[in-house]
Each structure stands twice: as C-alpha cells, then as structure tokens.
Structure 1
Amino acid sequence: MTDSASAVSAPPNSSTVRVSDRFVTYVHHVCESNQARAALRRGLGLPVERCTYMHRYLVPWLRDHDDQHHADVRRAYYAVASLIAARPRSARDTTPDQSGSESWYARPNLGTSLGQAVTKGVLKENSAESALHLMARQSSDAIHPGLPALVRQLLAGGITIDWAVLLEDLAWWNRSRDRIATRWLEHYFRTASGTTETTAPFDSAEENDR
C-alpha cells in the first residue's frame, strides 16, 4: 500500500456494520504501510492537538463520521488508531471481526481482556483489579496516557482486544463512566471466574443512547 490519497480514503458506508467497526477496518488497512503505521503510532497517549502526524490519515475519515460536538469522540478515534498502529509484530496478523453474529454487549470489552489476562497468567489478579478500579474513578483525560502500556502488556501476552468496543467505550466514557466501568468490572469478574453469562441490566439503555 502506498501513501497516496486513495490510501487514506474512507471505506464505503454499510448499514449492517457499526461505524466503529468500519473505522477499525480502515485503520488496519492504513497500517499496511510502514510509514503510515509509524505516523499513527506517534500519537500514543497524546491529546489530539499533539497528534499532528496523524491528521493526514484520520481527518479524511472523521470528516464524515466524527461527532463534531464532543472532543471525547475525536480523541477516542485517535487513541484507538495509535494503539492499533503500535501493536507488537505478533499481534499484527489479527483482523477485525465484523460478522455481526455476536450481540454488541456480548463482545469482549477491556474488562474481558483483563480477565483473560489473569486466567492466562499475563497479569496478576490484584494488578488487573487495581487497574480497573483506578480507571473507574478517572476521567478519560487520565485514562488515555496509561492505556498504551496496559494494551501493550495485554497484546504481548496474546490477549486480543476488540478495538471497536474500546473505541465506543472511550468515546462515551465522560458521559457514561459509571455505566461503562460497571460493565468492564462485570465482564472482568465473569471472565476471571469462568462465568460466561453476559446479561447486564443497563446495557440496553446505553445502547439506545448511542
């Protein structure tokens, strides 16, 4: 892939695939270029205003899909793009699943990934729980700088991350922090304990707000 204008054009719209999933697919495509991947990686943990090298690749996409009223949304897009670009080589072969066979709230969130990390010995139980409880008390501005190290540890340990779910959770964090944090904690404890039920009483309300 080259860094031509066609390389940064947005994918066609699809009524059957969430915008977040389409964005993740787009970033995977862009990251086929070493130059583009390096540019996106330079934004790790940074606010959008300091991500000057990322604009070339994300502005053409976000002009049609971003929520212009919320800076949180734009930062979430930039953060997830940089996290995808910074994946270790062992994790670059994974491709996003957009089959739609699984309901949105059954898909793994960050709590699920941390639970998997505990069961596989990638993280200690107290470390994973401490990270979740700390994030539950923080604003997105405090969470973003710490995500690269946490995500890198998960990916290096062979733990997969559903980037589209992470994107939407980060975008909504400051408006629905308690609800999202509760969902992360519920999925963490279900996964770490081997319980697979994924029903959550407030998920449908949050989904209706999106």
Structure 2
Amino acid sequence: MSVTTHSPTSAQADPQAAKPTEGTLTGQQPPPRDFELVRYDEFADRVRKLCQESAGVQSALRAGLGKPVTEVPARMHAALLRPGLIHENPDQPGYPDKERAYYAVAALIAARPRAQRIAETPHAPESGAEADTPGAAPGPAVDAAGSAFHPRGTSLGESFADAVGRRSPDDLKSGAAESRLHLLVRQDLDGVHRMLPGVFRWLGSSGVTPDYACLLRDLTAWHYRRDTVTTRWLQAFYRSLRRQEAAVEQRPAAPST
C-alpha cells in the first residue's frame, strides 16, 4: 500500500477549521476521518491492540524509541513485520522515510503513559508492564481509531496548545511550549525524529493524547513538504491558544465574599 500525498486544501491547512467531533461528546456517530488518515488510523489501532495483548510486543516496539530503523533491535522488526503492520512497497520512491515514520510512531505508541493507555481502552484490562508516569492525567478516551480527533487530523500544534491549557488553564503560560514547538518545526528529518520522544513524554505528562495517525501522515511527508506541515502545526497552536484565551475571558467573575 502506498502513501499518496495531495496538496492541502484550505481545510487541511487549518484542521481547526473543523470543530471537534461532537459524536465523542454526545454519543452520536462522529464524522468520518479523511481518507488519507484511515490507513494510518488502522496502523495505530493495530499497534495499540498488539501492545494491549502482549507486554513482550510492547517492550519490543518501545525499544526502538528515538532510533533510526538501522539501529532498532531485531525484536522490533519482528513485532512490526511478522504481523504485516507495514504494507508500504520498499521499491517505491521515498520508502525509507515512510518506513522510519512507521517505526517511530509505533515506538511512541508503545511508550505512551499507562494512564493514557487506560483512557484509550477503558473497558479492557491493561497488559503492559511499565510503571505509571508520575503526574500523568488521562487523555480523551479513544475506543475506535481517530474517534477523539478532527476528521482531517488533529495536528501536533493543537496537542501542544492542549498541553498548555491543561498545565495552566487560567494564565496560559505558553512560553516554554512555544519555544519547544519553534525548535521542533525548524528540524530536518533526523532532528524531528530525535526530538519526538521528549516531546511525547511532555505531552503524556500533561495528559494529552496525540493524534498518532496525523503525526504519521506528517512524518511521511516531512522530507518533501516540511513547510506545509510546520505551517499547519504553528497555525493550529496559535488558533487553539486563542480559543482557550477567549474561553478564559468569557468565564463569569467569581462572586466576591
């Protein structure tokens, strides 16, 4: 299966133009995900399921965190390729970048905090073996691939803003997050892969569940469309912050005593 890239439409350039899926709040069926994200949602869902079923698989995938494909242990290759999780054609142009993206996202999913794993599968027993991440709050429940995210993808920029709001919702102290995001979007492909594990540890400690499918799509395009991807991340970050600030401004004043 090959990854097809398209020029971003105005909605893709601004995923926040689509409001969060109300189905996740009301019990209604959420709008369908963009066709480009469906294959990536399926990959993320299968990785989650394998991690839930086997602590050994989870450990094997987590062992590749932050490593290039040529340096991951043999057991990670087995965990990804024997079940047929990656269907890309090795003979197609750009395959190494796509392969690296799949490996990186699988490792990030396997390394996510226990609280996040429980929130994603509220009715399933957790079989992973690692300890809880101190201070991690549960993220949004995800009981089907992509159900907690925008139909066209929830970019990493919005996840950054969500983390800011969860850490300091009243004064929205975004300076450190903003600096981290600015550094991230300036990276080449090697640099962004090096930074992602630390970024995701920070998001996890903030109780934020990222859109792994959206990240996978963005990483596969990083080498050729970095400017488009990073612009989308930055716009989503600032628009989301502005919405949070507006919500704070609209709060009724506390009654005086």
Displacement of 1:124 in angstroms is 4.6
2:98 to 63, 68, 73: 73
Q: Does 1:173 align with 2:222?
A: yes
| Distance in structure 1 (CA, Å) of the matches to 2:71 and 2:211 | 25
User: 1:116/1:58 Cα in 2 relative to 1: closer, same or farther (>3 Å)?
Assistant: same
RMSD over aligned Cα, in angstroms? 2.4
Secondary structure at the counterpart of residue 108 of structure 1: coil
Displacement of 1:55 in angstroms is 0.5
Residue equivalent to 1:29: 49
| Distance in structure 2 (CA, Å) of the matches to 1:101 and 1:128 | 21
| Distance in structure 1 (CA, Å) of the matches to 2:110 and 2:237 | 25
Residue equivalent to 2:80: 58
2:187 to 125, 130, 138: 138
Residue equivalent to 2:117: 92
| Distance in structure 1 (CA, Å) of the matches to 2:149 and 2:193 | 30
Q: Deviations over 1:104-147 (max 9, x none)?
A: 1xx31100000111112269512211122112221110111111
Displacement of 1:69 in angstroms is 2.5
2:86–2:102 contact (8 Å) kept in structure 1: no
Secondary structure at the counterpart of residue 120 of structure 1: helix
Displacement of 1:188 in angstroms is 0.3
Displacement of 1:152 in angstroms is 1.1
Task: Name structure 1 gaps, 5 residues minimum.
Answer: 1-15, 196-210
Percent sequence identity over matched residues? 40
| Distance in structure 1 (CA, Å) of the matches to 2:85 and 2:93 | 13
Task: Name structure 2 gaps, 5 residues minimum.
Answer: 1-34, 121-141, 245-257
Q: Structure 2: which amino acid aligns with 1:65? A: E
1:41–1:86 contact (8 Å) kept in structure 2: yes
Residue equivalent to 2:3: none
Q: Structure 1: which amino acid aligns with 2:78? A: R
1:109–1:165 contact (8 Å) kept in structure 2: yes
Q: Does 1:151 align with 2:151?
A: no
1:27–1:81 contact (8 Å) kept in structure 2: yes
| Distance in structure 2 (CA, Å) of the matches to 1:125 and 1:102 | 23
Tell which deviates more after alignment, 146-155 or 129-138: 129-138
2:159 to 77, 90, 113: 113
User: Could you say which structure has the higher helix fraction?
Assistant: 1
| Distance in structure 2 (CA, Å) of the matches to 1:100 and 1:129 | 24
Secondary structure at the counterpart of residue 54 of structure 1: helix
Q: Does 1:39 align with 2:60?
A: yes
Residue equivalent to 1:206: none
2:65–2:107 contact (8 Å) kept in structure 1: yes
2:46–2:85 contact (8 Å) kept in structure 1: no
Displacement of 1:155 in angstroms is 1.2
Relative to the length of structure 1, the TM-score reads 0.77
1:186 to 211, 235, 246: 235
Q: Structure 2: which amino acid aligns with 1:121? A: R
Q: Structure 2: which amino acid aligns with 1:64? A: H
Displacement of 1:157 in angstroms is 1.4
Residue equivalent to 1:199: none
2:163–2:208 contact (8 Å) kept in structure 1: yes
| Distance in structure 1 (CA, Å) of the matches to 2:86 and 2:213 | 18
Displacement of 1:62 in angstroms is 4.8
Displacement of 1:103 in angstroms is 2.8
User: 1:145/1:20 Cα in 2 relative to 1: closer, same or farther (>3 Å)?
Assistant: same
